[in-house]
Amino acid sequence: MPIPPARIVVEDLHKTYRIATRAATSPRPWPFARRAWRTIEALRGVSFVIEPGTITGLIGPNGAGKSTAIKILSGILRPSAGHVSVGGLVPWADRIRHVGRIGVVFGQRSQLWWDLPVEGGFALLRDIYRVPPDRYRARRDRLVDTLGLRDILDQPVRQLSLGQRMRAELAAALLHAPPLLILDEPTIGLDAPSKLAVRAFVQELNRTEGTTVLLTTHDMHDIEALAGRVIVIGHGRVLADSPFETLRATTLSGRRLTAEFDGPAPPLLLPDGVTPLSQGGQVLELGFDPARIAAADLIRALASAADMHGVVLSDVSITRPSIEEVISRFYERHGAAG
Ligand SMILES: Nc1ncnc2c1ncn2[C@@H]1O[C@H](COP(=O)(O)OP(=O)(O)OP(=O)(O)O)[C@@H](O)[C@H]1O
C-alpha cells in the first residue's frame, strides 16, 4: 500500500518536564533529602501545519523547545497535551508505523552502529524497516552514488570523519524511502564543502522525490539555502511563521551603503530615510531604508554632492543585514534571546 504524503498537523502542543530537585529546606543530606519537584514548560501551545513536499525550518534560541517538538514529531516523546498528526498517524501512539514513514538525522547522535562497517549498518536498517531486497538494492545504490559513500562502505562508523558520517547518516535515514525527513542540526561541525554537499543533497531529494523536510538548525545559512518557510519558536511558543524574506522585511529591512570618493568624502544633506553610520577620509557609510528612499536616488545625491565639491564618487556597494543579524534582532525584540 503506498505511503500517504507527510502532512504534519500540530495543534496546541504542550510539553511539561518535571524534574527532581533536592528540597532546599531539607535537613537531611543527599540522598536522604526529601525530593522537591520543579516543572519546566518546554512547549506552551505550539500549532502549525506543514504541507507535503515543502522544506520548513524550525528555529529558535537555545532552550526554546525545538528539540522537544522534534522528539514529539518523531514519536520519541509524548506531549503533555495537544494533538499531532503526521500523514494521518499520531507519532507516539502509532510509533511503529510512524517510524517506518520518517527518516531522522540528529547531527549530535548516530543511528548507525559504531563498531559496524557502514554497509553492515545499512543491512540492519533494511531488516528493521523490512525493505524488500530488490527495492533495497536499488535505493542503497542510488544513495551510495549520490552521497559518495562507495569508498567508506567497509569502514566502521567510529573511524569516519564527521562529514563522512553525516553523509552515511543521511543515507541510513532514507533507505526505507520515507516521505518525511526530520533533520536536527544536520550540518553542525561540518566544514564548508561538507555543509554545501548536505544542503545540495537535501534540496535535490526534496525536488526529485517530493520528500517533506523539517529542519532545525542554528546555522542560518542552512535556513537561507533550504527553507521556504521558517517557524520561530521562543519560550515554547510560535513567535513567527512565515517565509524568511517576510521576517527580514518586518525585522531589519535597512541597507548599508558604502561610498568611496577619489578625495575627501563631501558633506551631504541627508535625505529622509538615511542615517549616517561612519565617515572617515574618502569613505562614507550610510544606513538607508529602501521603503523610503530608492538606492538609485541616494547614489545620485551622493554623485552630485561629490561633483559640487570637486571629487568623484569612485565606488559604491550596498549590503543587506546578514541573516544572523536579522534573526538576532528578532530574538532580541521578542525577549527570546538564549
Ligand atoms: N529531558 C528533559 N528534562 C527536563 N527538562 C528538559 C528536558 N529536555 C529539555 N528540557 C528543558 O526544556 C526546555 C526546552 O529544551 P529543548 O531541548 O527542547 O530546547 P531547544 O530549542 O532544542 O534548545 P537548543 O537549541 O539549545 O538545543 C529547556 O528549558 C530545557 O532545559
- pLDDT reported for residue 338: 55
Pairing of strands 55-59, 212-216: parallel
pLDDT band at 32 (very low <50, low <70, confident <90, very high): low
Helix (H) or strand (E) holding 311, with range, is: none
Question: Which residue would you say has higher pLDDT here, 270 or 307?
Answer: 307
| Ligand 1: centre distance to CA 69 (Å) | 10
> Is the pLDDT reported for residue 22 higher than 70?
no
Alpha-carbon distance of 183 to 107, in angstroms, equals 8
Question: Which residue would you say has higher pLDDT here, 27 or 232?
Answer: 232
- pLDDT reported for residue 4: 62
Specify the residue with its C-alpha closest to ligand 1, atom 31: 63
Mean pLDDT taken over the chain: 90
Helix (H) or strand (E) holding 81, with range, is: strand 81-86
Helices (H), 6-94: 66-74
- Spatial neighbors of 26 by CB under 8 A, at least 6 apart, are 33, 34, 36
Amino acid at 93: A
Q: Where in the chain is the domain with CATH 3.40.50.300?
A: 8-13+50-249
Helix (H) or strand (E) holding 173, with range, is: helix 162-174
Specify the residue with its C-alpha closest to ligand 1, atom 18: 65
SS3 216: strand
Taking the alpha carbons at both ends of the chain, their separation in whole angstroms is: 45
DSSP 115-171: TSBHHHHHHHHHHHTT--HHHHHHHHHHHHHHTT-GGGTTSBGGGS-HHHHHHHHHH
Q: Which atom of ligand 1 is nearest to the CA of 218?
A: 25
Least confident of 102-111, 133-142, 224-233: 102-111
Question: Which residue would you say has higher pLDDT here, 326 or 89?
Answer: 89
- pLDDT reported for residue 21: 79
Q: Is the CB of 60 under 6 A from ligand 1?
A: yes
Check: CB of residue 190 under 8 Å from CB of residue 166.
yes
Specify the residue with its C-alpha closest to ligand 1, atom 2: 17
**Residue range 8-13+50-249 in CATH 3.30.70.360:** no
Q: What radius of gyration do the chain's Cα atoms show? A: 26
Specify the residue with its C-alpha closest to ligand 1, atom 16: 65
For domain 254-320, give the CATH number. Answer: 3.30.70
> Is the pLDDT reported for residue 1 higher than 60?
no
Q: Where in the chain is the domain with CATH 3.30.70?
A: 254-320
- Per-residue cell: 137: 538494492
The average pLDDT across 310-333 equals: 90
Nearest Cα neighbor of 257 from 301, 298, 309, 210 is 298
Nearest Cα neighbor of 181 from 162, 205, 200 is 205
> What is the ipTM for the molecules in this complex?
0.97
Q: How far from 158 is each of 111, 152, 296, CA to CA, in Å?
A: 12, 12, 56
Q: Is the CB of 13 under 6 A from ligand 1?
A: no
Counting other chains too, the contacts that 295-304 makes at CB distance below 8 Å and 24 or more residues apart are: 295/255, 295/257, 297/271, 298/257, 298/271, 298/274, 299/257, 299/259, 301/268, 301/271, 302/259, 302/268
| Ligand 1: centre distance to CA 334 (Å) | 19
| Residues facing 280 on adjacent strands | 283
